[in-house]
A = this chain, B = another copy of it.
Amino acid sequence: MTAVSVGLPPTLVGTGDLFQLMRDGRPRTRGELAQLSSLARSTITARVDALLLSGLLQPVGEAASTGGRPPTRFAINPHDRVVLAIDLGASHATVAITDMSGEVLGQRTVDSDIADGPVTVLDRVAAIGVDLLGEHDRSIDEVAGVGIGVPGPVEHATGRPANPPIMPGWHDVDIPAHLNRHFPGPVLVDNDVNLMALGEYVTSWESSRHLLLVKVATGIGAGIVADGRLLRGALGSAGDLGHVQVAGAPDDVVCRCGNVGCLEAVAAGPAIAAKLRAGGLDVEGSQGIVDAVAAGEIAALQAVREAGRDLGTVLATCVNLLNPSVIVIGGKLSEAGEYLLAGVREVVYQRSLPLATHDLRIVSTAAGTQGGILGASAMVIDAVLSPRAVDAYVAQRTA
């Protein structure tokens, strides 16, 4: 006798609600939909007709007959519209178009300095988006929405960056308004690491509900999925792990933020590279560290593992606080393979509560550099295929 067991009254199941039943991608007949939804056959027929007319559903062959004419099966039509997914980094931009199932149809990455400012950068990626659409014979009208990740905190509700430290000129810029000059549909903006977390979640971990993704590269940041939803915080800065004080870290290491003992100051790419150079190894940037590890340089293996331990000290706190099912390590330094992960595991399993690590998995990213694009696409698909948005779309297309 719990609130959850109360059945959904038929009058509440609109076209958009019925459509949700199809989002798992499995083809179904009208009869199967009637059974799943408890709606009358006549209601199902009317709503399926509307969804077919709108293009959101398509017929996909026939089910086995039980006598008489075999019933038609329907499934979600992933080609109905496309999503434009954009991932802005400090020095590059990736633009992709995906179908409505999140599959990437085409993608391009270009050098692009975020410091060129919002007008230049947004017009640049919009032009690439228009190009990609043309290459794949899709029109601008077919764009269901745009998702974009930026390297800084964002007020998600308005799509405006909030005092982003490495994005000069972007504070409070209305990114949705700018991109809506080029494309129709909702424009949803989020922090790039949040979208990496979402991308990893929807492609590999949707059943686990609670995920923490940590990006380790020039900086260190995290994206949090709690109970299936991105946790963004009051001002969009949740997950900012780079300047957390590391217990046990030397207190004479001054961070670029002005504090001492920050995680970034001991475990990010620049800190590791500086340590290796001080030891006589000629290493530049995160890629240099990854190369040195690949070459089997003992000092590099040791330094990366030690960085993993520092990261693990902070993640042990995150594990006690958030109780995630999975921690995913991403970013350039995750390419250093098992050494970083081993250091993380060592400390997390030692320092976290037994209950919180009972089912905890700590893994390397599966989505890799594609995470941001996949997350941006998923964010838009989730919005434009919501029950309300589907109802509105069907009404507009069948008017």
Q: Which A residues form the contact surface with B (CB < 8 A)?
A: 1-3, 6-9, 11-12, 14, 16-17, 145, 153, 162-163, 176, 180, 184-188, 208-210, 222, 224, 226-227, 229, 231-241, 243-249, 251, 257, 259, 261, 313-314, 316-318, 320-325, 350-351, 353, 355-356, 358-360, 383-384, 386-389, 391-392, 395
Contacts and interface: CB of A to CB of B under 8 A. Distances in A.
Can you tell how many copies of this chain the complex includes? Answer: 2
Contacts of A209: 234
A69 to B, nearest CB: 31
A59 B123 CA distance: 57
Contact of A247 (B17, B261, B321): B261
18 contacts: A1-B180, A1-B185, A2-B176, A7-B392, A11-B391, A12-B14, A162-B355, A163-B355, A233-B356, A234-B323, A235-B359, A237-B323, A237-B355, A239-B321, A245-B351, A248-B251, A317-B317, A321-B321
A3 B244 contact: no
Interface of A is mostly: loop
A101 to B, nearest CB: 18
Given A261-B247, A388-B9, A240 B323 contact: yes
Contacts of A251: 248
A327 to B, nearest CB: 11
A315 to B, nearest CB: 10
Given A245-B316, A317-B314, A186 B388 contact: no
A222 B322 CA distance: 11
A350 B259 CA distance: 9
